[in-house]
Amino acid sequence: MQQIIFVVDDSSAIRSLYKTVLESIGYRVVAFKSGKSLLDAVEAELPDLILMGAELQDTNCVDLATKVKSRPEYLLIPIIVISSTRSMDLRRNCFQAGVTDFILKNCTQKFLIERIKLILQRRETMQFNQHLAGQRFNVLIAEDSQALLALYGHMFEQMGCRPILCKDGEEAWNHLQQDSDVDLVLTDIEMPNMDGIELNHLIRSRSDFDQVPVIVVTRIDQQELLCELLTAGASDYISKPFIHEELQARVSAHLRTRLLYKEQQRLNNELQELNAYLEDRVRERTQDLHEANVETISKLAKVCDFKDLETGNHINRVKAYSEELGRAIGLSSEVVTRLGYSSMMHDLGKITTPDRILNKPGPLDADEWIKMREHSLAGASLLGDKQFFSMAREIALYHHERMDGNGYPKGLKGNEIPLSARIVAVVDVFDALISKRSYKPAWSQDEAIAELQRISDDHLDKRLVDMFVSMLDSGQLDYIRNIYPETSGSSLEIVSE
């Protein structure tokens, strides 16, 4: 879109020259010979830039710039004053009136064109950045001058921001307490109720406002406060009277940083969500694998069931009794679960025991006992070396060890025998005693308890037997035999040895 430049100068030669030069490089130029005609034209159409002669027939550049900038909607129109004098006073007055640049009339055409291009480009970049951001920044403004507050409001609205206007520091702080969605704070220093210094301190005392830029508006004579303000965490300052474009440029710079911060936060949040999703998937896969492993265990245990005709529901009861006893002595739920499925494979090694020994109706001879005892080592060997089966491995290997060291296969004593194997030994013996076999009837629970107590200390872990007996006496384990009733009998290799 073609950019519009208004030229105002009382010299027709100058007007004509600027018009010719600027139109030749693509701008649309409208020239005026008086300040009034310029103000009338600005009412009808907003230019992108005004090129203004310092002295006009009806006014001067300072008054004319002041009038242009007094209307909020004209605040952001850049004004370049072309002066024939180097007067520092005029220059300072022009800047105080909101002029963007001050150029000498005798400068080269090239210099003038470059300045115009630069100023227009800076304006475009600012608009482009706002467009790029695609969002309205919330700018909190604390200023006790109603006129200045209104002016800031218009300025930030023109920048695409949402201004939140507060008449003093206290109102600004109250707003921040209720709504922390603020992207930048612009504050005056001297205000009633709460000044800018206190507001800046309070903002920096809150960790969630760490990244919110605070720009302080100072007077020239308040420079000594700057060090204190900046040390207390103020991000930037601007001294009154200031050029609007300068304030706009500083605000834009801080908002760009703010945008990057928010983008980084958004990416961090996305990354966290992605991590949580991946963790869920890993958890699901781990659970799948765990369930597959447990199912494998169940199937392996069933293989033993098929082979050893007398086990019946023995394996399921051993699992349930082991879990209950493990829980009663304070094992964690994770360990209890592991103990349960691991206990099911205590006799896995019997797969390798010849059927004639396994299902022999009468007592075993010495050679047959040697073969039978090999099931401990065989079971541990079949379970391999994976961590998942480590507890099952120690149970298979050590469930025939005795507290007095007269068990097999290693002859371990007391606490040398892993706790898991000691637990399974207690419940395995109990279940064998209360189960019917071809050469022995099922013992009553009281008889089985009396036998457990008789062989505790030398054979079984007395502490575990005591706990197990108290649980049996209370009736809390009765449900297990109801769920897994006796179907045919139970192996009795431990007590019959």
Chain residues in the site for Fe ion (CB under 5 A): 347, 428
Query: Which of residues 347 and 401 has its CB atom nearest to Fe ion in the complex?
Result: 347
CB of 337 to Fe ion, least distance (A): 20
- Alpha-carbon gap, residue 219 to 175, rounded angstroms: 25
Query: Which of residues 81 and 315 has its CB atom nearest to Fe ion in the complex?
Result: 315
For tokens 């470059």, name the residue: 114
- Alpha-carbon gap, residue 336 to 23, rounded angstroms: 88
CB of 352 to Fe ion, least distance (A): 12
Torsion sign (Cα): 207, 208, 211, 214: negative
- As given in the structure block, the two tokens for residue 215 are 């720009």
Query: Which of residues 394 and 428 has its CB atom nearest to Fe ion in the complex?
Result: 428
CB of 438 to Fe ion, least distance (A): 16
CB of 283 to Fe ion, least distance (A): 34
Bridge partners (DSSP) of residue 186 are: 141, 215
Outline where DSSP puts E strands in 180-269: 184-188, 214-219, 236-240
Query: Which of residues 183 and 323 has its CB atom nearest to Fe ion in the complex?
Result: 323
CB of 388 to Fe ion, least distance (A): 21
Residues counted in the chain: 497
Query: Which of residues 239 and 381 has its CB atom nearest to Fe ion in the complex?
Result: 381
Helix (H, G, I), strand (E, B) or coil at 60: strand
Cβ(116)–Cβ(5) under 8 Å?
A: yes
Query: Which of residues 195 and 347 has its CB atom nearest to Fe ion in the complex?
Result: 347
CB of 491 to Fe ion, least distance (A): 6
Give phi and psi for 223, each to the nearest 5: -60, -30
Contacts of residues 121-126 at CB distance under 8 Å and 24 or more positions apart, as own/partner, are 122/245, 122/249, 123/48, 123/76, 123/78, 126/159, 126/248, 126/249, 126/252
CB of 371 to Fe ion, least distance (A): 13
Query: Which of residues 9 and 428 has its CB atom nearest to Fe ion in the complex?
Result: 428
Cα distance between the two ends of the chain: 103
- Alpha-carbon gap, residue 312 to 305, rounded angstroms: 7
Task: Give the amino acid at 87.
Answer: S
